[in-house]
Amino acid sequence: MVWNRNPEPFSELISADAVAKRVAELGAQITAEYRDAVGDVVVLGVLKGSVIFMADLVRQIGLPVYLDFIGISSYGDATVSSGVVQITQDLSRPIQDKHVIVVEDIVDTGHTVHYLMENLKTRGPASVKLCALLHKPERAERDIHIDYLGFTIPNKFVVGYGLDVAQQYRNLAFIGFVP
């Protein structure tokens, strides 16, 4: 078996096929809802965890979109959110009057996304919506509205499909958890 499709030493939570199916559904939903905004849609990936998800998602969106990235640090290499959020790399272009779709890997405590959404709203966008692959509601410390959600998951530390353990294993094809 190809290394990045073998669940060991993790346990598989969501298979690569199930992820692909859900990403296609999210792409179709976004395509339908942004038809009238063509020319002004910015898909904004939060580095680095969203990169794999974003690459697949934008290829399921049947409209031309701009891509941009923002670097956010809330954890260091720890596995528990400190609640202190920093922008480590800013957008390459202004988002004034743009329709922004923020793409995140996971909403855990919600501190990162809360900070980011508030920050982006001060920049005069036409709209800002949130697309998150995963949501761990049991860990919520902030009330976050997720406009496009892949999967709700239990309170486990997950890895793969962009998510890391100490910066590794982002290239697993499936989503696993540390047993």
What residues act catalytically?
A: 108
Minimal distance in Å, beta carbon 77 to Mg ion?
Answer: 13
Inter-residue contact 134 to 158 (CB < 8 Å): yes
**Tokens 């528990």 appear where?**
80
Q: Does 56 bind ligand IMP (CB under 6 A)?
A: no
Q: Does 23 bind ligand IMP (CB under 6 A)?
A: no
Chain positions contacting Mg ion, by CB under 5 A: 49, 105
Enter the tokens of residue 31: 């395509």
Quick one: which of 14, 10, 8, 18 has its CA closest to 177? 10
User: Minimum distance from CB of 61 to Mg ion (Å)?
Assistant: 21
Of 26 and 163, CB closest to ligand IMP = 163
In the complex, the smallest distance separating the C-beta of residue 105 from Mg ion, rounded to whole angstroms, is: 5
Burial class (CB in 10 A: 0-12, 13-18, 19+), 76: exposed
Contact status, residue 135 vs residue 106, Cβ threshold 8 Å: yes
Number of residues forming the site for ligand IMP (CB under 6 A): 19
Q: Residue 33 touches which of ligand IMP, Mg ion, none (CB < 5 to 8 A by kind)?
A: none
Q: What is the CA radius of gyration of the chain?
A: 16
Which token pair is 132?
Answer: 């998150």
Q: What is the footprint of ligand IMP within residues 83-142 (CB under 6 A)?
A: 104-113
For binding to ligand IMP (CB under 6 A), which residues are involved? Answer: 49, 74-75, 81, 104-113, 157-159, 163-164
